[in-house]
Amino acid sequence: MTWLRSPGADDDKRSMGVLGVVTGSVRYPGAAVLGVETAWRTGIGYVRLWAPRRVQDLVLARRPETVCHAMDETSGSVDAWLLGSGQDARERDPALRALLLEALGSGAPCIVDAGALDLVRGHAGPTIITPHDGELARLQGAREKPLDRAAAAARVAAELDAVVVAKGAPTHVVTPDGACTTIAARTHRLATAGTGDVLAGVLGALVAGSAAFAAAGDSLASMAAEGVELHGEAAALAAADARPITALDVAEHLPAAVAARLSR
């Protein structure tokens, strides 16, 4: 099955999913550009971004469809949240911390990356976290990267009651009860900056578009696994004929990867 869908005659922008995004920073604005771009290209109906003005300007230059909010604006209604990409917890100001905690405590599904991982223990709704090996180690209070990524992910998933997408080659999607789906890399060209931000955007779009199912059984893990697969399929299209790629290339090939999945 697929969690992707094409809009029907009765759909509108809200019924296709509303994704709230709190990503990027003055230091790392590109993470927000990549995540928002990706969410749109995966088929989301509505993206709302909370970010500093510089980040907003860069996102709007690339994706003018995006609705932008100041950091102190009320969060409002969204179907899912994408949090933390392109942020550093050591540089987090009180307004950002308050907004992240509000989103995590809202009960809406959350995809939590990078600079919000240290706050994830406060989540109130279905949650996916997307650590790389270094972040996975820190979540366990360790200094060294785990020798067994799947086992480390299982421990973190159980402790945090969250689905863990342990990024790497291969990537492991692990549920709190220990079920693990392992997804082989479609191309090692994904070893380039920003592709994790693209993956987070894919996951955000899938979960926001299927939020009514995100708390049911293994649905959240199934969405996460499909997001990893879709990310790999787009990367493989971008890297055809051994081409070097950038993260934005992966995002730009997502519509073709989505169409291929919907036609199966």
Residue closest to 25 by CA, chosen among 70, 62, 55: 55
Distance of alpha carbon 132 from alpha carbon 125, whole angstroms = 22
Do 164 and 156 contact (CB within 8 A), yes or no?
Answer: yes
Do 121 and 112 contact (CB within 8 A), yes or no?
Answer: no
- 197: annotated binding-site residue? yes
Residues whose CB falls within 8 Å of the CB of residue 231, separated by 6 or more in sequence, listed in order: 190, 195, 198, 199, 202, 250
- 231: annotated binding-site residue? no
Residues whose CB falls within 8 Å of the CB of residue 160, separated by 6 or more in sequence, listed in order: 120, 121, 123, 127, 129, 139, 176
Do 200 and 113 contact (CB within 8 A), yes or no?
Answer: yes
Kindly report the backbone phi and psi dihedral angles of residue 68, in degrees, each rounded to the nearest multiple of 5, phi listed first.
Answer: -105, 145
Cis preceding linkage at 170, omega within 30: yes
Do 253 and 259 contact (CB within 8 A), yes or no?
Answer: no
- 145: annotated binding-site residue? no
- 86: annotated binding-site residue? yes
- 84: annotated binding-site residue? no
- 196: annotated binding-site residue? yes
- 168: annotated binding-site residue? yes
Tokens of 18: 């509303």
- 8: annotated binding-site residue? no
**Residues placed in the known binding site:** 31, 86, 132, 167-171, 196-197
**Residues placed in the known binding site for (6S)-NADPHX:** 31, 86, 132, 197
**Residues placed in the known binding site for AMP:** 167-171, 196
